[in-house]
Structure 1
């Protein structure tokens, strides 16, 4: 049972103002409520200066990073398959292309997992949707993603025009197979185009996200075993988390994700996780 088995209709959410980001927070809160009892986690927000709270915050930062790197491993598998074929879909066997689609599905699903942990981390850190938007005067998730792209391209200006090759394209599917194509896109909204260079860039963008997450982690100086504790620079901690979220949204946008596609992906993974919670999977 994985995200491909979720057939529930995804709600239509208009990208007006902050609606999509707010609805994703709602999904994240609902998902967290289930895991809260399973993992015996405290409610949010946390007292950031409590040593035990900081252990939890560091744990969720680690969970986000783990999912991001696992997603990269899946796109790396895609690159390894295409490497000997010059990025030509016509050269792949049916079995090889199926493997490509499986790796793409997993790469997307890891992003949904990273988002789930990211939203819990933000909730625990008392960062709400309006705080994310206010940080850069953004009005919507689309603008957050656009600002994230801009920030990445400021760091890597030579990445503005990188050639990519189509992996999942409607032109490669016969008319009678378009329903199957649409179904695949519903759980694989990103990474439709790729190349060896774009994959290397993917690694650099992820480093920027992970670096900001670790900067946030380094602000958490309390240790359960210390006799004296250090007060956390809470604003600096929160700012690094929000910066990393903007960069992550930019990373996703540069790999083909849209706000609606991201919402659809997260909705499907959230529904899968609720099923796992209810069935003691």
Structure 2
């Protein structure tokens, strides 16, 4: 299998950048690996061990450390597991590449099993939200609720301009080109935590992701099959597709959905306006806290 790293020194540089961002976390955490069919999955855990489990799925090209501005309030009550998606630019170690939605779901279920989690809430950003929507459909009995922030594809096809900008930054990863990509995905006037930005630049310049399951528009049937409560958050300045059209389609198809387009925000919504996102997410999770909450919602729908 092709190495994750463009050059031998890449692993050292990525680890240094990863740890630099992680050192900015303001909570106590544990670092661990879970063995799966697809390799060793790295996870950062925080919060009370008896809290309801909340799984975080990061955006493409980032890692679990990117939740630096969200982790403190989320882990105050919930047992948070921030997962490094296997094959992406992080500390997970791939032995078999994930290529299909079914393989992704198998990997996710194995991670949950390895952590001893029967069911959990999920919160994902961009590609992570896309993954969250996949597993919510294919593992309905194990997902209590889903927070989907700027989901990659899923609710609308991605614009060619978005795809091309991302592809060019990956093929020709100069510092200027990568920084311009981040500025393009961020609404005017907003800032992303500098350590997260720096890690993204270093990762892009030193890694070649092994992700083969690409974010894509989900069918009407797939969206209708997401049974759990869903909070969908989109930025007014979303660049991958029209946010209002995406919200309209999601509201029409996903049975138990709350959705909102956030003014003054772009694609990196939870990175740009973490305080607002944290407040909205916690309020939503509190509505759906409890072992039997999801079951009761399903019973009402029957």
TM-score normalised over the length of structure 2: 0.23
The structure whose RCO (Cα within 8 Å, separation 6+) is larger is 1
Q: Which is richer in helix?
A: 1
Which of the pair has more CA radius of gyration? 1
Query: Which structure dedicates a bigger proportion of its chain to strand?
Result: 2
TM-score norm. by structure 1 comes to 0.24
